[in-house]
Amino acid sequence: MPHDISKGLNVLARGLRPYVAARIQQAGEIRDPRLSGDVESWDAQALLLFMWDYWNDLFRTDLTFVERSLISELREFRNRWAHQNRLSDADVYRILDDVERLLRAIHSNEAEQAASLRKEALNRLWNEEVRDKQESRIFSQLWPYIMCGASAFALDAAIISFGKAPWSWLLAMLVFLAMMRIAWRQAMRENLHRPGPHECTSCGCIIYTVDCPYCQAAKSDPAAEAAEILLPLSRSWKNFRLTRSSAPGSRESASETSR
CA 156/CA 243 separation, integer angstroms: 57
H-type alpha helices, 127-250: 132-162, 167-192, 213-220, 222-246
Determine the pLDDT at residue 258: 47
Rounded Cα distance between 112 and 103, Å, is 9
From the number of C-beta atoms within 10 Å of its C-beta (0-12, 13-18, 19+), residue 168 rates as middle
Cβ proximity of 13 and 33 under 8 Å: no
Instruction: Tell me if the bond preceding 166 is cis, omega within 30° of 0.
Output: yes
Q: What is the mean pLDDT of the chain?
A: 78
The SS3 call for residue 207 is strand
DSSP 104: H
Share of residues in the chain with pLDDT > 90 (%): 27
pLDDT tens digits for range 88-144? 888 999 999 999 999 999 999 999 999 999 998 888 887 776 665 656 666 667 778
Question: Which one, of 44, 51, 43, 41, lies nearest residue 20 by Cα?
Answer: 51
Indicate the pTM of the whole model.
Answer: 0.53
By the 10 Å C-beta count (0-12 exposed, 13-18 middle, 19+ buried), 200 is classed as middle
Mapped onto helix, strand or coil, the DSSP state of residue 250 is coil
Tell me the pLDDT tens digit for each residue of 173-212: 998 898 888 888 877 776 655 555 667 767 777 776 667 7
- 178: Cβ contacts below 8 Å, ≥ 6 apart: 152
Q: Where are the domains of the chain?
A: 2-109
What's the rounded Cα separation, in Å, for the pair 17 and 43? 9
Give me the pLDDT at residue 254, please. Answer: 47
